[in-house]
Structure 1
Amino acid sequence: MKPAESQQILAEQRKLRPVSPHLAIYRMQINYFNSPFNRITGSVLSGAFYCFGAAYLVSPLFGWHLDTATIVAAFGSMPVAAKVAAKFAMAFPFTFHGINGVGHLFWDTGRGFARKQIVSRGWTILGLSVVSAVYLAVWV
């Protein structure tokens, strides 16, 4: 068999193979958003901690004031709405990533893989994250 003939047979076989679902035809569900958002929140949180830690270490070299008293005074001078918004912006990624991590630990036990359970788990994680972030932003 010549190479051109084998390529032709291979091309014909490829036409008969099933095509895997693509994102354009996939019906989006809550876990479609929760999975990448979990990775994004983990990256953002770790990046923020590293950036603040590095800034805190080099702040004396640049004359920045990142000590506790300065940060507390700056935060205390903000309007109440800005305080709540800033606290919610910090609390929501933290609570979402933590609660979703617990959900993944539950999956590691091999339970909860039915479609209905996955959807209810996703909405439960999102709801608990919002409620706990609002609690942390308003009352703590």
Structure 2
Amino acid sequence: MLSTRAVGLSSPLRQAILGRALVRSPVALAKRSVQTESLPPSAAVDILNQQRLRRPSSPHFTIYQPQMTWIPSIFHRATGGALSALLYAFSLAYVVAPGTFDSAHVVEFVAGMPDAVKYAGKTLLAAPLLFHSFNGVRHLGWDMLKFMNVKGMYQTGYTVLAATAIGTVGLVLM
């Protein structure tokens, strides 16, 4: 009825236009009874858990084809987390036992390893570090609104992979 008042239709005019039955009960809702029961506050968690069990899960990995737009994003997060965990672990080890984890002892320990273990260790450190670094530069490019089309994203993705491979080989052979 707000619209008729806004237009300036008075009550007698509304009755004449809309009819007396609509004016008396503008919204005719069917009444229905709803039965409720009183539950303790702790029951809310149980009800929520039951609703979550009946909720379907997302099929994400099973229906989507892997793409250069989201695979590097997942690996960027994983390498960032792994490199951070490694840094924190080494830092805490140095704080707890500074005599064992100082540079001289670490160099001596690594020098005593077989060459295959050294190369594997270098690869396990260099590849995530370089990938995370190059992909971070890729993300900075996106922040500047560069390469924001599908072609640019694929080109920069393959460039990051190639630079990571070349850089890893270069660092391992040093």
TM-score range, shorter chain: 0.7 to 0.9
Paired with 1:91 and 1:128, the residues of 2 have a C-alpha distance of 12
Secondary structure (helix, strand or coil) at the match of 1:31 reads coil
Confirm whether residue 86 of structure 1 aligns to residue 86 of structure 2.
Answer: no
| Number of residue equivalences | 121
2:5 maps to what in 1? none
| TM-score of the two chains, using structure 2 as the length reference | 0.63
Structure 1 unaligned spans of 5+ = 5-20
Distance change >3 Å, CA 121–CA 74, structure 1 → 2: same
Match of 2:66 among 3, 15, 28: 28
> Structure 1 residues 22, 85: CA separation in 2 closer, same or farther (over 3 Å shift)?
closer
Amino acid at match of 1:55: A
1:37 to partner: Cα distance: 0.6
Partner AA of 2:158 in structure 1: W
SS in 1 for 2:148: coil
Q: In the alignment, which of 97, 119, 125 is matched to residue 59 of structure 1? A: 97
SS of the counterpart of 1:101?
Answer: helix
For 2:12, the equivalent position in structure 1 comes to none
Q: Which ranges of structure 2 fall in alignment gaps of 5 or more residues?
A: 1-28, 33-58
The sequence identity of aligned pairs, in percent, is 37
Counterpart of 1:13 in structure 2 is none
Computed over aligned residues only, the root mean square deviation of the Cα atoms, in angstroms, reads 2.3
SS at match of 2:173: helix
The 2-side partners of 1:47 and 1:22 are apart by 28
After superposition, the C-alpha distances for 1:106-133 in whole angstroms (9 at most, x for unaligned) are: 0111121221221121111011112101
Secondary structure of the 2:66 match is: coil
Write the distance in 2 (CA, Å) between the matches of 1:3 and 1:111: 59
Q: Distance in 2 between matches of 1:110 and 1:66?
A: 43
Cα deviation, 1:64-111, whole Å, max 9, x if unaligned, reads 621222111111111222111101111111111111010001011112
Residue 112 of structure 1 corresponds to 147
1:1-140 equivalent positions in 2, closer than 5 A: 1=29, 22-59=60-97, 65-139=100-174
Bigger helix fraction:
1
Q: TM-score, length-normalised on structure 1?
A: 0.77
Report SS of the residue matched to 1:30: coil
Greater relative contact order (Cα < 8 A, sep 6+) = 1
Question: Aligned partners of 1:51, 1:59: CA distance in 2, in Å?
Answer: 12
Distance, in Å, in 2 between the alignment partners of 1:77 and 1:31 is 42
